[in-house]
Amino acid sequence: MRRPRIGIPLDLDPVRGRYELPRTYADAVRDAGGLPLPLCYGDASIAGAYLALCDGLVLPGGDFDIEPERYGEARRPACGPSRPERTAFEWALVEAALADRLPVLGVCGGMQLMDVVRGGRLHQDLGEELGVSHEQPPPKDLPSHEVRVVPGTLLARLVGDAPLPVNSTHHQAVSRAGEGVLVTARAPDGVVEALELPDLPFAVGVQWHPEAVGRHEPRHLGLYRGLVQAARERVR
């Protein structure tokens, strides 16, 4: 049986004119038994053509924020820069993937996008709104705090329901869960750290980077194994 093809949208460095992706995403998919398929973002109209090649989807994070106007808020000073073209492309990918019940794993900003597509909202800056920081200093792959996983959820089946040490590299987080979105983990300060869409076979989002922290805590790699297994079952 062929390896399930897992699409991963690339970032774009506009200065050097290069598409980029941290290798940890592709390595995690490959090590879980999948075939990483890089997706060069562009006009949102081609998202469906890309998804026709994919058995599953990873939504990676990035050093930018979703435009607040997409979740009905005015931009505040602490909100970071946006990349409207990438967000528009990945938005189209998410909508089409969820409609087609394609297995999806959202990571960091990818999790936030999943929530906003479902009508959720974000804290534009955790420090400004909640007085907390979730941006750890380097090295970024080390665990910096624990999350409490909700028992009985898909996340718990993938990583266990014991407290899970995670890394933390975000200044935004989900403030309101979207339609049909279940919050499945929180940090000790109450910040949302994971979600899933129970109405779909596999749609999971985590606020940390399991592909990076997995070398220190192997439980995280269950997320990528779960994604690839769900994609494999779709291929059969």
Residue 108 bears catalytic tag: yes
Distance, CA of 49 to CA of 71 (rounded, Å): 27
Residue 188 preceded by cis peptide, ω within 30: no
Is residue 106 within 8 Å of 204, Cβ to Cβ?
yes
Is residue 62 within 8 Å of 18, Cβ to Cβ?
no
| Angle ∠(231,235,236) on CA atoms, nearest 5 | 120
Residue 211 bears catalytic tag: yes
Which of 90, 193, 196, 211 is catalytic? The answer is 211
Which of 123, 134, 145, 209 is catalytic? The answer is 209
Which of 108, 134, 145, 196 is catalytic? The answer is 108
Other residues' Cβ atoms within 10 Å of the Cβ of residue 15:
6
As annotated, the active-site residues are 108, 209, 211
